[in-house]
Amino acid sequence: MATQMSSARRGIATDEMKRVAKDEDVTLDWLLPKIASGSIIIPSNNVRPQKIHNVGIGKGMKTKVNVNIGTSTLNVNVEEEVEKAKVA
């Protein structure tokens, strides 16, 4: 199976690229060279494909925030975890 980068290098716009272009309000003509060069990536897993909402990460893309919420045996503070989510 081809990678996003290898497809972009061949000028092939994948469904994931089309989705990212739409979500980011950019053209495929602008997006493909950036993916081909590696300055924008679309994280995915060819070995274990999943139904996920693909996003573009890199220069010119909207900012994405990842927050890890949860307690552990060392820190059981639900209010603190809720505050982390609000800040993010």
Alpha carbon distances (Å) from 25 to 17, 19, 56, 76: 12, 10, 11, 41
Per-residue pLDDT of the chain (88 residues; tens, 9 = 90+): 789 999 999 999 999 999 999 999 999 999 999 999 999 999 987 777 778 889 999 999 999 887 777 767 777 777 888 887 787 6
Residue 88 lies in a domain: no
Residue 75 lies in a domain: no
Residue 11 lies in a domain: yes
Residue 39 lies in a domain: yes
User: Which range of residues forms the domain containing residue 36?
Assistant: 4-63
Tally of structural domains, the chain:
1
Q: What is the pTM of this model?
A: 0.75
Residue 44 lies in a domain: yes
Torsion angle of alpha carbons 16, 18, 23, 25, nearest 10°? 150
Residue 29 lies in a domain: yes
